[in-house]
A and B are shown apart, each in its own frame.
Chain A
Amino acid sequence: MELSGAKILVESLKREGVEYIFGLNGGAAMPIFDALYGETGVKLIPMRHEQGCSHAADGYARATGNVGVALATSGPGATNLVTGIATAYMDSIPMVAITGQVFTHYIGSDAFQECDVIGVTRPICKHSYLIQSSDEVADVVAEAFHIAKTGKPGPVIIDIAKDIQMHETLFRYPETVNIRSYKPQVDGDPGLVSQAAALIKNAKRPIIYAGGGVVLANASEELRQLTLKTGIPITVTLMGLGAFPETHPLAMEMPGMHGSCCANYAFTDADLVIAVGARFDDRVTGDLSKFAPNAKKIHIDIDPSCIGKNVPIDVPIVGDAKNVLTALNKQVSTANIDPWRAQIQEWKQKYPFEYEQKSDKVMPQYVIEQIYEHYSDAIVVGDVGQHQMWAAQYFKFTEPRQWLNSGGLGTMGFSLPAAIGAQLGCPDKTVVNINGDGSYIMTIQELVPAITLKLPLKIFIINNMYLGMVRQWQELFHGKRYSAVDYHDNPDFALLAQAFGATGIRVEHTEDVRPALQKAKGITDGPVVIDFIVDEEENVFPMVPAGAGLGDVVRGLS
């Protein structure tokens, strides 16, 4: 049967089990949108800005583990996707981004809305395809999905010219994909796994350091087995939160710049670090010369280029976290480390995350605590900034894929569109969006599709009228010179939500926090926006200052 390239594209996406395509129409993508018109096998979700398309596809992928799909036109449509593609790349999120392109014979002529999207996205995607014939479409889609979701996942770009979208050819979908140059190593080397088991057996002060790779590999169960079987204390990074329940006695909570003192002291004193799906990011390690100076290091990662990149590794194990942990779990037993566990418990009790009621204003940490109390089972989509750190500190995540945030790129504006993707992917879950006043207004336009789709999103703005994290750094390191961070001129977000057609609530007093959260629970036919006006100059602590070691964590301003 002969079909147009656009039809073949849509049929191919259906073969890949795609539920939703987050798209924004435009000239060079019109045949694809036409092929999606009235289509029931895959649902088109129109967004209001292409950045919203890529973040929504990303949020869908993070919440479900499936490949998210974004669609935009050429030129500005494609460049607007870029921030979302880079966000997904930094956090290894499986995504396929499809961009229309000008007619083949116009490519390279600076045609209207022409942009070399393959060139622009080269360093921020796992792979990319410029389709040169409608005969290639089905094979390219099959390869793109295979590459996006296997090995270390990541975004793949498919750029397809308008004439190729229109040209008809035979549709035949490949049954299997075999790329000779792409064979990710999933099983760990058995000898190295045994070496790791031996180190674990002999360690006196071991810790497990788990990251987002555990979530991506769906290896939380295996991680829990390793932790519970050995009784080794565990710290889970910002990207991995929920992979191990934060409520468990062995959980030391998040490490790093705004992590727990316990986790940071544990790194500094440990004699063995077992890293799983974590990449020794600078926000975790602090000054590398002071990072875990006495510890042997085991590193389990699917990406060989991540191992030894920042920190020398004693036992490097390349493989899928699920496979490697399964093999490792067979060789470990209870660790004889009672004094070390007692030390960890002492740190945990002595240095919990804590804050003071400094003014009569609502404290942001209190809002997060109350959100946790009201929505402990929800999927929480955080944005980037102080509220993100407070959410990571004060919300106790217990399940993988419960906490979604842009950890690597730190993209403000990520969370509202990502929450839309997460809610569509998980219709039975409550989705809470914890946002900041700075980040919310960056992608506020995506409130429109959330309302149109009647998504019961709980959008909670921690509004301190500042670009808070930058203001905190200006306070601490720039002599309070608050350059370009004053957001007092923002609109009233509750009124604005009402203007969009959503429920909008403004909370200015501590006693109103709980009733507002309770009220939001009852609103199920669309989004509710609560604008929490919080203490303006509260800072995020603990804090490891840039360039300091983890052991030099500052607990607060005295």
Chain B
Amino acid sequence: MNPEERHIFSVLVENRFGVLARVAGLFSGRGFNIDSLNVAETHDKSISQITLVTHGDAQIIEQIYQHLNRLIDVIEVTDLSTGTHVERELVLIKIGAKPHERAEILQVAEVFRARVVDVTTTSLALEITGDEGKLKAAIEVFDSYGILELARTGKIAMMRGFDS
């Protein structure tokens, strides 16, 4: 077995219904894993961007790349892992926080540069942005206070610099 690697694909697709199902179906039908998935319209309304994190050995990654390219609605596939890139994810965390716990949680939030987006008498909701390592650390720490709810965007990424 060859070593498994984590790869981030940026996939530009036609902004039509059914395209995501084709991309996802390609993974499910072949037993490839999707670790994270993000889809949104780009500045050009006719194009959507899919950011997809997956893992596999070199042969599987090559197959994923080729099969993505083979889909008719796929305009361009870039394996961002082949160059230096910026990677971010946003997570919303709701923590059970009694009034006397708030100060301590807010201090921890400061360390992770988290922003408070909602407060109630019994809970606190935070927004944290970062790469995988930072979010993992933050989630671990906040879990010690009791996470009530967690939502994350999935990773988005782009190459550094400008490549025409």
Identify the A interface with B (CB < 8 A).
118-119, 122-123, 126-128, 130, 147, 179-182, 303-305, 308-309
Q: What chain B residues lie within 8 Å of A179 (beta carbons)? A: 72
Report yes or no: A180 in contact with B75, Cβ–Cβ below 8 A.
yes
User: In the bound complex, how far is the Cα of B62 from the Cα of A128, in angstroms?
Assistant: 25
Label chain B's interface by main secondary structure: helix
Minimum C-beta distance from A92 to chain B (A): 12
Interface string of B50-75 (1 = CB under 8 A from A): 00000000010011001101101111
B3 at the interface (CB under 8 A from A): no
Q: Of the candidates A122, A147, A182, A304, which one forms a contact with B22 in the assembled complex, judged by CB atoms under 8 Å apart? A: A122
Q: What chain B residues lie within 8 Å of A181 (beta carbons)? A: 13-14, 72-75
Known contacts being A123-B29, A181-B14, is A305 close to B70, with CB within 8 Å?
yes
Q: What chain B residues lie within 8 Å of A180 (beta carbons)? A: 75
Q: Look across to chain A and name the residue whose beta carbon is closest to the beta carbon of B76.
A: A181
Label chain A's interface by main secondary structure: mixed
Q: Of the candidates A123, A127, A309, which one forms a contact with B25 in the assembled complex, judged by CB atoms under 8 Å apart? A: A123
Minimum C-beta distance from B161 to chain A (A): 25
Q: What chain A residues lie within 8 Å of B22 (beta carbons)? A: 122
Interface residues on B, range: 10 to 19
User: In the bound complex, how far is the Cα of B106 from the Cα of A150, in angstroms?
Assistant: 60
Q: Look across to chain B and name the residue whose beta carbon is closest to the beta carbon of A318.
A: B66
Q: Of the candidates A127, A130, A305, which one forms a contact with B63 in the assembled complex, judged by CB atoms under 8 Å apart? A: A305
Q: What chain B residues lie within 8 Å of A119 (beta carbons)? A: 21
Known: A123-B29, A181-B72, A182-B72. 17 other contacts (CB 8 A): A118-B18, A119-B21, A122-B21, A122-B22, A123-B25, A126-B72, A127-B72, A130-B18, A180-B75, A181-B74, A303-B70, A305-B66, A305-B67, A305-B69, A305-B70, A308-B62, A309-B63
User: In the bound complex, how far is the Cα of B31 from the Cα of A123, in angstroms?
Assistant: 13
Q: Of the candidates B25, B67, B69, B70, which one forms a contact with A122 in the assembled complex, judged by CB atoms under 8 Å apart? A: B25
Q: What chain B residues lie within 8 Å of A303 (beta carbons)? A: 70
Report yes or no: B66 in contact with A304, Cβ–Cβ below 8 A.
yes
Interface centre among B13, B29, B69, B72 (most CB of A within 10 A): B72
Q: Look across to chain B and name the residue whose beta carbon is closest to the beta carbon of A303.
A: B70
Report yes or no: A147 in contact with B25, Cβ–Cβ below 8 A.
no
Q: What chain A residues lie within 8 Å of B66 (beta carbons)? A: 304-305
User: In the bound complex, how far is the Cα of B22 from the Cα of A130, in angstroms?
Assistant: 14
User: In the bound complex, how far is the Cα of B17 from the Cα of A128, in angstroms?
Assistant: 12
Subset of 9 A-B contacts with CB under 8 Å: A122-B22, A122-B25, A123-B25, A128-B18, A181-B14, A181-B72, A181-B73, A304-B70, A308-B62
